[in-house]
Amino acid sequence: MTRIGIAGLLHESNTYLPVPTIYEHFAATSMTTGAALIERWRGARHEIGGFLEGAGANAVPLFATYAVPSGALTADCFERLAAELMRELEAALPLDGLVIALHGATVADSFPDADGEILRRLRMRLGAGFPIVATFDLHANISRRMAAESTALIGYRTNPHLDQWDRGVEAASLAVRIIRGEAKPAQALEMPPMLVPIACQHTPVAPARRLYDDLEEVLRWPGILTASVAMGFNYADVEEMGASFLAVADHDSGLARRAARWMARRAWDRRHEFAAALPSPEQAVRDAAVSPLTPVVLMDVGDNVGGGSPGDSRVLFDEVLRQRVRNALVVLYAPTAVASCVAAGVRSEVTIEGIGGRVKTISDGFYTETEVRHGGWSTYDQGITAVVETPDEHTVVFTSRRMAPMSLQQILSLGIRPERKRILIAKGVVAPRAAYEPVAGSIVLVDTPGVTSGNPASFDYRHRRHPLYPLEPNAEYP
């Protein structure tokens, strides 16, 4: 019987965060092996759920873990995760193939290209020619090592990420075909000197849409097995940061190279389109105060939890208070505030860092999402959560765990009616759209400060490649 190892090691690492990511963050979020891995991931609209579907009875669960986006992994964290993966692999051998879910923007203090290092270790143990198919997030910074050490890489094609399950099925199916001798991948990576600002990474609309139209065209070329576009993660200061284009052809490295270059060249020729001017908090709140299209979702770009930000910024809510606009909702990561509310009890009047109101609800913070949402998760835990309502009809949700706003159940589960609010402050950029579009009157990306600022020029990069458009406007792509 064919045996396909199933693995996952996912983390989006924001190197501008001073707080490192440690092993316990993974252990406390999601870490499974063997039967527990299948239990955790079977049916999940995630690439690992897709792996299990695509591999079917051939699936051999190894090790899968992820943590909420945060700072770079400590060397100790990376080595422990890698060791557990390799130990489970060793115990499961012999295998015929391996599919692994990586993020592609994982950074360890010891290995800036952590994904490449994982693939290198797998390749070293499994040998040249062993089928290793890896999936990656659309926000990956793909390195030459990742491409060299894998048999094939397959990235998500949508942002918000709603095709994770499909890419997982595709990866496992490709692994099966390689094992059967029906396909022999030749992979090519092309890295034009450009980055795509995060505000321009919304795939259903131009300019991002065009990159994926080109990708769809390449997928129809005879001989192409798969292809991907990674828009990159601008908050990881690593050499490979930026956009990249990848094609995998059957037996034909020349074809793969032509396809990757064709996509890259066409993106490069449209590089000027990837620019976004976002309103200031002051302007955005002023517009939202009078907008007929309510609720107005104000995306707090600089405090994007899904990009590693803390989720505790008051910039937008304070601006709402300053302009005396009523009826806003904000979710803040604030464990101390939760503790104060719990101590005070429901119906108590509290004043927390200048926010005065009544404790409406205290919740266990668990919620479930049944729709396909960015991230592919169905169960969430935002920790003990307190809801405070103010005399100005503001609803302030304090959580004791950091949680990206990928599911509207985050607030619906607390009894909040988002459609009745004038302003919904969401700590993200593109990813929360899948959750918020059904209730939003309008969505506005706001130029807020933070470690996920939408302006790449505001970061002090030390390790990225040079030149890189638009940071070097005169960059050339020979």
CB 419 within 8 A of CB 295: yes
Closest CB 138 distance from Zn ion, rounded Å: 5
Please report the DSSP string for 116-158 in residue order.
Answer: HHHHHHHHHHH-TT--EEEEE-TT----HHHHHHSSEEEE---
CB 262 within 8 A of CB 412: no
Give the integer Cα–Cα distance in Å for 276 and 282.
18
Tokens of 449: 């400060």
Inter-residue long-range contacts of 409-412, CB under 8 Å, 24+ positions, other chains counted: 409/367, 409/368, 409/369, 409/380, 410/331, 410/367, 410/380, 410/382, 410/435, 411/329, 411/331, 412/367
Sign of the alpha-carbon torsion through 87, 78, 333, 296: negative
* Smaller CB separation from Zn ion, 40 or 139: 139
* Smaller CB separation from Zn ion, 137 or 237: 137
Closest CB 107 distance from Zn ion, rounded Å: 15
* Smaller CB separation from Zn ion, 62 or 243: 243
Tokens of 343: 């101590």
CA distances from residue 368 to 365, 382, 410 in whole angstroms, order as listed: 10, 11, 9
What DSSP character marks residue 87?
H
Residue type, 398: F
Closest CB 406 distance from Zn ion, rounded Å: 11
* Smaller CB separation from Zn ion, 88 or 303: 303
* Smaller CB separation from Zn ion, 29 or 253: 29
* Smaller CB separation from Zn ion, 160 or 357: 160
* Smaller CB separation from Zn ion, 418 or 450: 450
* Smaller CB separation from Zn ion, 72 or 224: 72
Closest CB 137 distance from Zn ion, rounded Å: 4
Closest CB 161 distance from Zn ion, rounded Å: 6
Burial class (CB in 10 A: 0-12, 13-18, 19+), 414: buried
* Smaller CB separation from Zn ion, 294 or 407: 407
Burial class (CB in 10 A: 0-12, 13-18, 19+), 269: exposed
Closest CB 201 distance from Zn ion, rounded Å: 9
Closest CB 432 distance from Zn ion, rounded Å: 12
Q: What is the CA radius of gyration of the chain?
A: 22
Closest CB 463 distance from Zn ion, rounded Å: 21
Residue type, 469: Y
Residue type, 264: A
Q: Which residue is nearest to Zn ion (CB)?
A: 139
Closest CB 273 distance from Zn ion, rounded Å: 21
* Smaller CB separation from Zn ion, 136 or 333: 136
Closest CB 385 distance from Zn ion, rounded Å: 25
Give the integer Cα–Cα distance in Å for 341 and 349.
9
* Smaller CB separation from Zn ion, 26 or 156: 156
* Smaller CB separation from Zn ion, 141 or 340: 141
CB 416 within 8 A of CB 366: no
What DSSP character marks residue 182?
S
Query: Strand, helix or coil at 425?
Result: strand
Closest CB 84 distance from Zn ion, rounded Å: 24
Closest CA to 171 of 132, 142, 206, 138: 132
Site of interaction with Zn ion (CB under 5 A):
137, 139
Closest CB 404 distance from Zn ion, rounded Å: 10
- Alpha helical stretches, state H, 150-244: 164-179, 208-219
